[in-house]
A and B are shown apart, each in its own frame.
Chain A
């Protein structure tokens, strides 16, 4: 978590850079307007206005193009977590393909191995998952910018196994004393689960074709094949399960954009 925090702050700083750029262009317009007011001559501002409008028209139309292509990358959160959390090992590959101006086909493929220590249970979940769906970019980019603030949906499916390492008997009347932890080692394999994810994410272009992104996910189980006499406490890709069908997730990605073709942007009127 400490590592993620560090990366998140650096990511925030990166985003704030873009913010300041955006703000610089706005004040220049207002400053010209101010000078108009100071002048208080009715004829002068008319001239200024016409000049401005003609120059902008000739500038914007030919320049703006959108790049289309494939973005591939990796989730840094899962990799860094494996370094400091001895109970966790995981990797996630992410990718998306720009379908239209605002829609992206998106997918994640991953593998996780996590040991969960609960108050009375210790279990290990191992497995592979695949998520696919789309992202909708709701961010209107300025010239040459390719940032994304998106919402999206995913369908996720996981095939995994669970190993019950040890457990405790819950006895509300410990007259005969607390029974020590029972070492088990039962393995439940061939487990499956599927779910729907709602994704909220941001991706920012850091340099050239490299993007960093951050996404938050709210998951809801559709199917959950549980083992007999045990529960799926952790589902790779879905993360920890709760009493209901809901779960949460996040990732922190670094991706590389491979441009395939360009499309001219038609100005909106």
Chain B
């Protein structure tokens, strides 16, 4: 009898002890990034790798980290796909895409600016994760493509919007041809 009671009490207090036990799982689909794929302008079906591309947000102190290196080369990518985060508290995000960043020959370095225009929606995920923001690129003008402040011609030849709704990172939203 006494043992049962003690056990019951222990069970109660152990239950009350574990309240904040949940952590947002990394595999949960939360705020997505914009997925961009680079294609060859001459053969538009062919993926093309960029060379030492640096992507830096307008007003951000540093570029997006792509690599795992400890030095400045972590900001550079030479892949054909990149994922870049959009602002969750504004309806536009501007990035500078700098090709051949840090190249000794300054004529090869080329900077283009793209501003993405979108609407946002905050969706409930779970108790642990809170809310996530999903984006929807504007139908009429999803982006504005401009040259850098110091004009150096456009290296991006064409931009195509594949998916207007950005709600996951499993699909390509933007295709860039160069």
Query: Interface of A with B (CB < 8 Å)?
Result: 1, 5, 8, 12, 15-16, 19, 118-121, 167-176, 179, 182, 200, 202, 214, 216, 229-231, 233, 240, 243, 248, 250
Contact = CB atoms under 8 A, between A and B. Distances in A.
B133 A8 contact: no
B54 to A, nearest CB: 14
B89 A8 contact: no
The 10 closest A-B pairs by CB, nearest first: A120-B130, A173-B85, A171-B31, A170-B129, A170-B30, A175-B85, A168-B130, A229-B124, A176-B87, A179-B89
Contact of A170 (B83, B85, B125): B125
Nearest to A200: B8
Given A169-B122, A170-B130, A248 B15 contact: yes
A231 B5 contact: no
Nearest to A118: B127
Contacts of A176: 57, 60, 85, 87-89, 93
Interface in B83-135: 83-85, 87-89, 93, 122-133
Q: Which of B2, B24, B126 has its CB near the most chain A CB atoms (within 10 A)?
A: B126
A169 B5 contact: no
A169 B133 contact: yes
B72 interface: no
Interface of B: 1-2, 5-6, 8-9, 11-13, 15-16, 19-20, 22, 24, 26, 30-31, 33, 57, 60, 64, 83-85, 87-89, 93, 122-133
A16 B2 contact: yes
Contacts of B31: 169-173
B1 A19 contact: yes
Contacts, number: 98
B118 to A, nearest CB: 14
B8 A170 contact: no
Contacts of A243: 22, 126
Contacts of A169: 31, 88, 122, 130-133
A176 B85 CA distance: 8
B124 A230 contact: yes
A179 B1 CA distance: 55
13 contacts: A1-B16, A16-B2, A118-B127, A121-B127, A167-B130, A168-B130, A170-B30, A172-B26, A173-B33, A176-B87, A182-B131, A229-B124, A243-B22
Contacts of B13: 1, 5
B11 A119 contact: no
Contacts of B22: 243
A120 B124 contact: no
Given A120-B131, A170-B30, A8 B9 contact: yes
A243 B25 CA distance: 13
Contact of B5 (A1, A170, A202, A229): A202
Contacts of B84: 175
A200 B11 CA distance: 12
Contact of A172 (B11, B19, B30, B127): B30
A216 B11 contact: yes
Contact of B128 (A1, A120, A173, A214): A120
Nearest to A8: B9
